[in-house]
Structure 1
Amino acid sequence: MADTGTLTRADLAEILNRQIGLSRADAAAMIESILDHMTTAVLDGENVKISGFGTFVLRDKGQRIGRNPKTGVEVPITPRRVLTFRASQGMRQKVK
């Protein structure tokens, strides 16, 4: 695993290779498949819950008024979709 402070797809594939014995190609394909399924589910409006880790939710945020911090001028912020993540209780306890 690279020591960059970031866990990458390649790192996950390497872990599957070492711990389960999958070939590097099969491990990389499995990671890609899982991420594709998660992305498709979120885009289809489903929540993605990984027990013991957390939940990914796609939310629609309505239009609102924001303020330019430098000038103080009010500016409308357009509606948009945002992806949120909420860590599970178990994950929050581990992070403490």
Structure 2
Amino acid sequence: MRDGLALATDDFGGDFAPACSDSAPVEAAEFTPDECLDAFVAAFGLTERERDILEVLVVSDQSVQDIAATLFLSRSTLYRHISSINKKTGTTSRVALINFFWSWTPKD
């Protein structure tokens, strides 16, 4: 878990969260997970629906089909939203998007 949110895994159960190589104690985060998500959405110009989808993607280890059902979307619609988010963030896959989100740092 990171900041109270579960980390995403690939479809084979592998953890794709960035590893922290610094062994120094981590100070209290400047941003809450929701604030970080909101900053990410604002920085990349995501829509409210894309925000909802990104939020589920970064905390869920469900399959794409299960995520689509949770969000009341067809699988193809979910893939179109993910593709749009990938285009806006410069990522190339769902896993790359999740990794990018967790490694991204909000700038003031």
TM-score range, shorter chain: 0.3 to 0.5
Larger radius of gyration: 1
Q: Which has the higher helix share?
A: 2
TM-score, normalised relative to structure 1: 0.32
Q: Which has the higher strand share?
A: 1
